[in-house]
Amino acid sequence: MLAPEIEQFCRAKGWWHDDVPETYERALAELDIDPDSAFGRFHRHVEDMPTFLSRNREIYQIGWFALNTDYARSIRAAHEGLGLPEAYLPLDAFEGEGGFFYNRETGEVADVSLGEPLRRLLTGEERPRWASFNDFLKWFFELEDYSSQLM
Protein backbone atom coordinates (compact mmCIF):
# COMPACT_ATOMS: atom_id res chain seq x y z
CA MET A 1 0.00 0.00 0.00
CA LEU A 2 1.33 3.38 -0.96
CA ALA A 3 1.45 5.88 1.92
CA PRO A 4 -1.36 8.47 1.63
CA GLU A 5 1.05 11.41 1.85
CA ILE A 6 3.02 10.09 -1.13
CA GLU A 7 -0.15 9.72 -3.20
CA GLN A 8 -1.29 13.22 -2.17
CA PHE A 9 2.11 14.68 -3.00
CA CYS A 10 2.08 13.03 -6.45
CA ARG A 11 -1.48 14.20 -7.12
CA ALA A 12 -0.52 17.76 -6.15
CA LYS A 13 2.42 17.61 -8.59
CA GLY A 14 0.12 16.37 -11.38
CA TRP A 15 2.01 13.08 -11.57
CA TRP A 16 -0.86 10.79 -10.48
CA HIS A 17 -2.85 8.96 -13.16
CA ASP A 18 -5.94 6.98 -12.15
CA ASP A 19 -5.90 4.95 -15.35
CA VAL A 20 -3.08 2.44 -15.44
CA PRO A 21 -1.65 1.68 -18.88
CA GLU A 22 -2.07 -2.01 -19.64
CA THR A 23 1.50 -2.07 -20.92
CA TYR A 24 2.73 -0.94 -17.49
CA GLU A 25 0.60 -3.62 -15.81
CA ARG A 26 2.23 -6.30 -17.98
CA ALA A 27 5.76 -4.91 -17.62
CA LEU A 28 5.53 -4.82 -13.83
CA ALA A 29 3.96 -8.29 -13.73
CA GLU A 30 6.89 -9.60 -15.79
CA LEU A 31 9.20 -8.15 -13.12
CA ASP A 32 7.19 -10.05 -10.50
CA ILE A 33 5.97 -6.87 -8.80
CA ASP A 34 2.92 -7.14 -6.55
CA PRO A 35 0.47 -4.57 -7.97
CA ASP A 36 -0.86 -3.83 -4.48
CA SER A 37 2.57 -3.13 -3.00
CA ALA A 38 3.73 0.46 -2.56
CA PHE A 39 6.25 -0.12 -5.35
CA GLY A 40 3.62 -1.57 -7.67
CA ARG A 41 1.07 1.14 -6.99
CA PHE A 42 3.63 3.93 -7.40
CA HIS A 43 4.97 2.64 -10.72
CA ARG A 44 1.47 1.92 -12.06
CA HIS A 45 -0.04 5.33 -11.21
CA VAL A 46 2.76 7.90 -10.98
CA GLU A 47 4.58 9.37 -13.94
CA ASP A 48 5.98 12.73 -14.90
CA MET A 49 8.92 11.97 -17.14
CA PRO A 50 10.90 8.74 -17.52
CA THR A 51 12.65 9.66 -14.28
CA PHE A 52 11.99 11.53 -11.05
CA LEU A 53 14.50 14.08 -9.78
CA SER A 54 15.09 14.98 -6.15
CA ARG A 55 18.03 15.40 -3.78
CA ASN A 56 20.28 15.86 -6.83
CA ARG A 57 19.58 12.24 -7.74
CA GLU A 58 17.38 10.58 -10.32
CA ILE A 59 15.27 7.43 -10.09
CA TYR A 60 13.51 5.54 -12.86
CA GLN A 61 9.82 5.28 -13.60
CA ILE A 62 10.16 1.50 -13.75
CA GLY A 63 7.15 0.86 -16.01
CA TRP A 64 8.50 3.29 -18.59
CA PHE A 65 12.06 1.93 -18.34
CA ALA A 66 10.93 -1.68 -18.60
CA LEU A 67 9.10 -0.86 -21.84
CA ASN A 68 11.41 1.65 -23.49
CA THR A 69 14.97 0.69 -22.55
CA ASP A 70 17.04 -2.43 -22.06
CA TYR A 71 16.10 -2.49 -18.37
CA ALA A 72 16.70 -6.25 -18.35
CA ARG A 73 20.39 -5.50 -19.02
CA SER A 74 20.47 -3.15 -16.01
CA ILE A 75 19.00 -5.90 -13.87
CA ARG A 76 21.57 -8.42 -15.15
CA ALA A 77 24.39 -5.96 -14.46
CA ALA A 78 23.18 -5.54 -10.87
CA HIS A 79 23.05 -9.28 -10.33
CA GLU A 80 26.12 -10.37 -12.27
CA GLY A 81 28.35 -7.31 -11.96
CA LEU A 82 27.59 -6.31 -8.38
CA GLY A 83 26.60 -9.73 -7.07
CA LEU A 84 23.24 -8.51 -5.76
CA PRO A 85 20.59 -11.18 -5.19
CA GLU A 86 17.91 -11.75 -7.87
CA ALA A 87 15.34 -9.95 -5.71
CA TYR A 88 17.05 -6.57 -6.24
CA LEU A 89 15.91 -4.21 -9.01
CA PRO A 90 17.91 -1.09 -9.92
CA LEU A 91 16.05 2.18 -9.35
CA ASP A 92 18.67 4.30 -11.12
CA ALA A 93 21.71 4.17 -13.40
CA PHE A 94 24.20 3.46 -10.57
CA GLU A 95 26.43 6.40 -11.41
CA GLY A 96 28.72 8.59 -9.36
CA GLU A 97 28.18 7.86 -5.69
CA GLY A 98 26.29 4.59 -6.14
CA GLY A 99 22.72 3.55 -6.69
CA PHE A 100 19.37 2.62 -5.21
CA PHE A 101 18.01 -0.92 -5.39
CA TYR A 102 14.55 -2.24 -4.51
CA ASN A 103 14.23 -5.70 -2.98
CA ARG A 104 11.00 -7.09 -4.46
CA GLU A 105 10.85 -9.83 -1.81
CA THR A 106 11.17 -7.69 1.31
CA GLY A 107 10.12 -4.24 0.04
CA GLU A 108 13.36 -2.73 1.39
CA VAL A 109 15.47 -0.24 -0.55
CA ALA A 110 19.26 -0.29 -0.40
CA ASP A 111 21.62 2.59 -1.10
CA VAL A 112 24.55 0.71 -2.64
CA SER A 113 28.10 1.97 -3.06
CA LEU A 114 31.04 -0.04 -4.34
CA GLY A 115 33.61 -1.48 -1.98
CA GLU A 116 33.04 -1.97 1.72
CA PRO A 117 29.37 -0.80 1.80
CA LEU A 118 28.46 -3.35 -0.91
CA ARG A 119 30.39 -6.10 0.86
CA ARG A 120 28.58 -5.37 4.17
CA LEU A 121 25.19 -5.49 2.43
CA LEU A 122 25.99 -8.76 0.63
CA THR A 123 27.28 -10.45 3.78
CA GLY A 124 24.28 -9.31 5.81
CA GLU A 125 26.38 -7.19 8.15
CA GLU A 126 24.28 -4.21 7.10
CA ARG A 127 20.58 -4.00 6.30
CA PRO A 128 19.22 -1.90 3.44
CA ARG A 129 18.92 1.77 4.37
CA TRP A 130 15.10 1.96 4.08
CA ALA A 131 12.77 -0.68 5.52
CA SER A 132 10.12 0.04 2.89
CA PHE A 133 9.60 1.68 -0.47
CA ASN A 134 7.33 4.20 1.27
CA ASP A 135 10.18 5.17 3.60
CA PHE A 136 12.50 5.55 0.63
CA LEU A 137 10.04 7.75 -1.29
CA LYS A 138 9.41 9.94 1.76
CA TRP A 139 13.16 10.47 2.02
CA PHE A 140 13.73 10.87 -1.73
CA PHE A 141 10.96 13.45 -2.20
CA GLU A 142 11.80 15.07 1.16
CA LEU A 143 8.34 14.32 2.54
CA GLU A 144 9.35 13.61 6.12
CA ASP A 145 7.28 16.61 7.26
CA TYR A 146 4.75 16.57 4.40
CA SER A 147 2.00 14.89 6.48
CA SER A 148 1.99 17.72 9.01
CA GLN A 149 1.77 20.28 6.18
CA LEU A 150 -1.45 18.65 4.94
CA MET A 151 -3.27 19.08 8.24
For residues 35-48, average pLDDT:
95
Largest CA distance in the chain: 46
**Dihedral, 113, 114, 117, 118 alpha carbons, nearest 10:** 100
Q: Which residues contact 97 (CB under 8 A, 6 or more apart)?
A: 113
In tens, the pLDDT along 8-21 reads 999 999 999 999 88
pLDDT for the residue 108:
97
**pLDDT at residue 151 above 70?**
no
Look up the CATH number of the domain holding residue 34: 3.40.1580
**Dist. CA 144–CA 140, nearest whole Å:** 9
Mean pLDDT of the chain: 92
Is residue 148 in a domain? no
Indicate the range of 28-42, 53-67, 83-97, 125-139 predicted with least confidence: 83-97
b/e 19-34 (16+ beta carbons within 10 angstroms → b): ebeeebeebbeebebe
The answer to whether 1 and 38 are in contact (CB under 8 A) is yes
DSSP 130: B
What's the structural domain count of the chain? 1
Is residue 112 in a domain? yes
**pLDDT at residue 4 above 50?**
yes
Name residue 139's beta-bridge partners: none
Is residue 149 in a domain? no
List the domain range (segments joined by +) for residue 102: 4-143
DSSP 80: I
In tens, the pLDDT along 76-85 reads 999 999 999 9
Helix axes 133-140, 38-45, angle to 10 degrees: 50
Is residue 32 in a domain? yes
For residues 52-74, average pLDDT:
94
Is residue 103 in a domain? yes
